[in-house]
Chains A and B, each alone.
Chain A
């Protein structure tokens, strides 16, 4: 066991050097398998369609993915704490709706956007309180808020889209950050931020402790309820952000916005190896969302009927899960066998 001082680079190199066995185990993980899958699918599409590897297409794909990615980031954090959030879709839709309604009532641009964001955070807060203080199952609680939220959306939009928004808002439709659409930028930023924070920011790292063992987390002084509430607020905020970006991109608040988002926001993390209770990473969820994005993009580029989309995604989910499960099982069997052998000796 080395105790010499090391710089971070040397540390990483040392880990890399720990060699072949580690790499194989790494690729046996869910994330590794998923990364490979992503690569294979991307290459396949690239070969089938010359348009795929163009910058324009990649950006378009990123923009289409943005909602999923943001929602998945939020969902991942909630999943890590051992809960799940089925109300993401409603936060997504409601944020846009509230902002649009506010704009039409004369509220200036940025406060209106802020209001939309707060809506998502408020829903998250409500979810968090219901789950922690009232101790209601997250399934029921978030279905409840989802239904309420969807209902509010319907009331405010009366079944149609809210359009005719003021010009300063409409300018956002074509806005660019660093020459890229805002959705693309925010998507990457959200992913990087979430992943890095989860790995290196101590307050956020507590999420893993809560998920791993809520009982023990309390004993080491972590306020489990507070972390869960904050996780829900984060997920609500992410979903709201996605909804705002969507509204800004299309220039209108649609009544349909966000329907089915919570499913995608569960599928992507699941694909990426995020399990209930402290398992997984934002990277995995991002790769999962990427896979879904690739498939969707492929369907458009290759002219495959949209009908196939569900089938393909569902199949990939099952395949990825199968590979992941069997690899993980194999790996842990190997490890357990080694330890057993060790124990038998003195």
Chain B
């Protein structure tokens, strides 16, 4: 029996205006965990969709288990033994876990009559194998993102596939949940399933993959065995040039003035007794596990969430956050973590987006001053380095990295004194990541106070001057940069070590 499960030859897929896959050839060995990595836009997702039968390639062949196959629909791929878990959680929120797992394959007694009992049983059996906590009757809508992903994985696994494809599975998972997932993958591998794991996270890929394939701009760059793989090499293959990701910015002294002073900030049930000071010209990193309350605190400061008690002093004056409009007027800016759903106006132009947080500034006698708006937009496009044709372009046509830059520009244009950024480099390509890091550092040096919320520890460690660690709604400690390390932060964030560090 051949060692090779899947062979791809010259797969090409074109969309109007772009070639997503350009003569990609590779092979996947039976029983391995094969990682596929690349920047956003590299073609990874398209490749997986082709393998799963959701897209039909323009050219090329797929040879599965020694035979050439043509998948004309997802069902074809399923029947052949290929199952995929998509990145965008495609679940049915209005239905139960069990009905999601066995979507359109519910166990029946006869004549298409569903047996609720069998459905429940089979679902429970599956869930037991993976020791999950929620119940089979729960509506998926009420589950957390991570649990939803679990449901999707269960669905894929229940198909008894020969090849399981996971497309960016950890994008909505916490660290501990990701660990869980990795264990799962090992266990799956032991049962003989071959796994393809798509990601743009280097550490995951280096950890999980037996072999790692790199795609760039739709083309196949190369495949590396785990033993030979390291971060530098992969980044070089992904970007095409040497890039210094997470370079050490070194220590930057902040100015003596306190721009933001927070005392005893509490929101019942979400966060309690949060106190800290933010200085002019510093980057204060906020680390913690998902759910520790960082985003909640930030949103509360910005007026998006209510506060039960606490005092805030902004630029020396007392500040009671009422709504975002008020916050913006007082000099705060909040760059949300989910740029697509809460941040940008994708169907509108760059100009529309950039002026949105401060429409009043561009208003003369009730009417909008389009010319000034356009000029300001051009200015910021250049300043922030957005790759675009002009201020009239629609935001949805920008790449992920450029969209994130647009989001930043939107808030920078309001000329804030305090900038809160929430996961500023999530899901964007390495090149843009570095640019944004440089930009933030530069802004801080010029005097802006920055609260940097991030789940990427390397990012926090290299950028922050001080690091605040939150756990379960409480601010556990604030660590100066020199004393910080990944292990220390994790320990505090998970409550293992009792912090003796000063606030």
Let me know if chains A and B touch directly in the complex, using CB atoms closer than 8 Å: yes
| Chain A residues in the interface with B (C-beta under 8 A) | 1-3, 5-8, 11, 15, 199-203, 205-206, 208-209, 211-213, 215-222, 277-279, 332, 335-337, 339-341, 343-346
On whether the beta carbons of B144 and A343 are closer than 8 Å, the reply is yes
Task: List B468-503 residues whose CB lies under 8 Å from chain A.
Answer: 471-473, 494-495
Whether A11 contacts B78 in the complex (CB less than 8 A), given A1-B128, A220-B103, A344-B289, comes out as no
Specify which chain A residues have a CB less than 8 angstroms from the CB of B292 in the assembled complex.
344
Contact string, B132-152, partner A, CB cutoff 8 A, digits 1/0? 100111000111101000000
Tally B residues with Cβ within 8 Å of A: 50
**Whole-angstrom CA separation of A5 from B124 in the bound complex:** 11
Task: Tell me the smallest distance from the CB of A285 to a CB of chain B, in Å.
Answer: 16
On whether the beta carbons of A221 and B73 are closer than 8 Å, the reply is yes
Task: Tell me the smallest distance from the CB of A7 to a CB of chain B, in Å.
Answer: 8
On whether the beta carbons of B91 and A220 are closer than 8 Å, the reply is no
Specify which chain B residues have a CB less than 8 angstroms from the CB of A205 in the assembled complex.
99, 106, 114
Specify which chain A residues have a CB less than 8 angstroms from the CB of B99 in the assembled complex.
205, 208
**Whole-angstrom CA separation of A298 from B91 in the bound complex:** 44
Specify which chain B residues have a CB less than 8 angstroms from the CB of A332 in the assembled complex.
141-142
Q: Which residue of A lies closest to B120 (CB)?
A: A11
Interface of A is mostly: helix
On whether the beta carbons of B106 and A3 are closer than 8 Å, the reply is no
15 pairs from A and B in contact (CB 8 Å cutoff):
A1-B124, A1-B127, A1-B128, A1-B132, A11-B116, A11-B120, A200-B114, A201-B112, A202-B113, A202-B114, A217-B104, A219-B74, A219-B90, A339-B142, A339-B143
Q: Which residue of A lies closest to B123 (CB)?
A: A1
Task: Tell me the smallest distance from the CB of A77 to a CB of chain B, in Å.
Answer: 15
**Whole-angstrom CA separation of A219 from B86 in the bound complex:** 11
On whether the beta carbons of A209 and B95 are closer than 8 Å, the reply is yes
| Chain B residues in the interface with A (C-beta under 8 A) | 54, 73-75, 78, 90-95, 99, 103-104, 106, 108, 112-114, 116-117, 120-121, 124-125, 127-128, 132, 135-137, 141-144, 146, 174, 176, 269-270, 289-293, 471-473, 494-495
Task: Tell me the smallest distance from the CB of B256 to a CB of chain A, in Å.
Answer: 35
Specify which chain A residues have a CB less than 8 angstroms from the CB of B112 in the assembled complex.
201-203
**Whole-angstrom CA separation of A7 from B120 in the bound complex:** 12
**Whole-angstrom CA separation of A341 from B73 in the bound complex:** 41
On whether the beta carbons of B142 and A335 are closer than 8 Å, the reply is yes
On whether the beta carbons of B92 and A209 are closer than 8 Å, the reply is yes
On whether the beta carbons of B95 and A340 are closer than 8 Å, the reply is no
Q: Which residue of B lies closest to A279 (CB)?
A: B94
Whether A216 contacts B290 in the complex (CB less than 8 A), given A202-B113, A339-B144, comes out as no
Specify which chain B residues have a CB less than 8 angstroms from the CB of A209 in the assembled complex.
92, 95, 103-104
Given contacts A202-B113, A219-B54, A346-B494, 5 further A-B contacts (CB under 8 A): A199-B114, A200-B113, A200-B116, A209-B92, A212-B93
* The 9 residue pairs across chains A and B that have the minimum distance between CB atoms: A343-B291, A212-B92, A278-B94, A216-B90, A344-B472, A221-B75, A202-B112, A212-B94, A344-B291
Partner of A220, one of B74, B125, B143: B74
Partner of A3, one of B91, B124, B132, B141: B124
